[in-house]
Structure 1
């Protein structure tokens, strides 16, 4: 299965050139925090519908207020994509689990305290193929520009010892764009734009 991995498009998704893929995965921050568009989720769904992928999976990020404000039990936000929020789906025999939560950002969407993060990450089952989060794990592709400070989640890093996915894909820290193999897990930071940038980076393509 050919995967196309993106994140942090912040309303600039039309600038991306997507390769053909069996599965497109968006790791959150589709919108801006104060998004001026009248229907950002509808616009995103139209783009998902036109994407050159057989299936689309997405999660939210800390800028996706429109997704955080949805009423519990409401209909899925994207008719043309599978939206995951502490939930899993199976596509092409691959088990994919998605979760949007981020540490250290009170006031933003999908912020969680350390205790809340522990509860969220404990829900992630072992034996999954692909883990999709918005935040990186601590120390893995999570360093901002001109800084050695790590912005990823230490609690998620600890839980990964139990979960051990084949692929963990995320975004959030734009300068961390890249990929890294560690043990049995391939880590990919798929942030599609640098902070404040308008030139898109190439989407990551992974074969599974």
Structure 2
């Protein structure tokens, strides 16, 4: 099995001003020949724990939801403090099911249905409707609603991100839909897909051995084939896999869409338990405080546009001695801006 190239020396760049968020920008559908190596710091499911992010510089930081445990204002302040310590000029986040006050329609409904005494408590603990979002945005953290967003990065690259916080119902939380009803993930032209939950069959296995990912999301990813799909939600399924896609026109399923022989496990909690090589690599990265992998031209496993997707479960909060799992530091190539 090929192993990913280790990143070179730490990049200690100064903080840069905010980037341009161009949600309505319409770029060319053809990929420019010139590309820029771009570094992402990817994390998820920090749950307002006492976690400290690594100081490695990244062009973009991505948080895939569950910034909090109970969606309180104090927890959002803790999450903001964590992200303020990240060395990246642009910080993008989505909500997770635990961040239910970011689900504005849901929180407004619960607030309006509450008694005056309950509303007083809600305001104290959770804030007014929209208050948590304003805290994030005031701190320079861009909270992405569901849909496709476009950015021009300071390194000269163009970035398109599809974001969705929605997951199948599990408990009385936010951004949820009935699994049997499904959800439409309208992914078009995205370099990176950020979702809170995993797709069915990819880094979604629970401790009980169940696949907890979404079938609709898998189908959308198999169709869109972005360079990166990052998520969290299933903490014990932490890891990264370079998924190779089959050339097929049949309805998307794991067996008909994924070329398992050509896919590469970068590392995972489950994979490291059965591989001495992966366990040694994981221990080495734990000492560094992040897991670095590069997939650019000249690397052992450069991402092939439309043929591969780097899937990353970046859940930070772990269990027992794995209290904190590693964030991912990832280099890929993006097109230069026109």
Q: CA deviation at 1:3?
A: 0.3
Asked if the contact 1:127/1:164 (under 8 Å) is kept, the reply is: no
Q: 2:49 aligns with which of 12, 15, 20?
A: 12
Query: Highest CA radius of gyration, 1 or 2?
Result: 2
Q: Measure, in 1, the Cα distance between the counterparts of 2:92 and 2:189.
A: 19
**Residue 54 (structure 1) aligns with:** 89
**Are 1:33 and 2:94 counterparts?**
no
After TM superposition, the structure 1 = structure 2 runs for residues 57-96 of structure 1, keeping only pairs within 5 Å, are 57-68=92-103, 69=107, 71=129, 76-79=134-137, 80-91=140-151, 92=153, 93-96=158-161
Q: Measure, in 2, the Cα distance between the counterparts of 1:13 and 1:84.
A: 24
Asked if the contact 1:77/1:83 (under 8 Å) is kept, the reply is: no
Given the superposition, is the C-alpha separation of residues 118 and 18 from structure 1 closer, same or farther in structure 2, using an over 3 Å criterion? same
Question: What TM-score does the superposition give when structure 1 sets the normalisation length?
Answer: 0.86
Question: What TM-score does the superposition give when structure 2 sets the normalisation length?
Answer: 0.54
**Residue 310 (structure 2) aligns with:** 186
Gaps of 5+ in 1: none
After TM superposition, the structure 1 = structure 2 runs for residues 1-208 of structure 1, keeping only pairs within 5 Å, are 1-12=38-49, 14-33=51-70, 35=72, 38-68=73-103, 69=107, 71=129, 76-79=134-137, 80-91=140-151, 92=153, 93-114=158-179, 117-119=182-184, 121=185, 123-124=186-187, 126-145=188-207, 147-183=208-244, 184-195=308-319, 199-208=323-332
Q: Measure, in 1, the Cα distance between the counterparts of 2:174 and 2:55.
A: 27
Q: CA deviation at 1:94?
A: 1.1
Q: Which sits farther off after the overlay, 26-35 or 162-171? A: 26-35
Q: How many residues align?
A: 201
Q: CA deviation at 1:90?
A: 2.3
1:11-53 CA deviation, whole Å, 9 max, x = no partner? Answer: 1154333422111100001101364xx4332443343233211
Given the superposition, is the C-alpha separation of residues 99 and 88 from structure 1 closer, same or farther in structure 2, using an over 3 Å criterion? same
Asked if the contact 2:48/2:76 (under 8 Å) is kept, the reply is: no
Q: Which sits farther off after the overlay, 81-90 or 195-204? A: 195-204
Off by >6 Å, runs of 4+ in structure 1: none
Q: Measure, in 2, the Cα distance between the counterparts of 1:34 and 1:167.
A: 28
Given the superposition, is the C-alpha separation of residues 46 and 34 from structure 1 closer, same or farther in structure 2, using an over 3 Å criterion? closer
Asked if the contact 1:16/1:200 (under 8 Å) is kept, the reply is: no
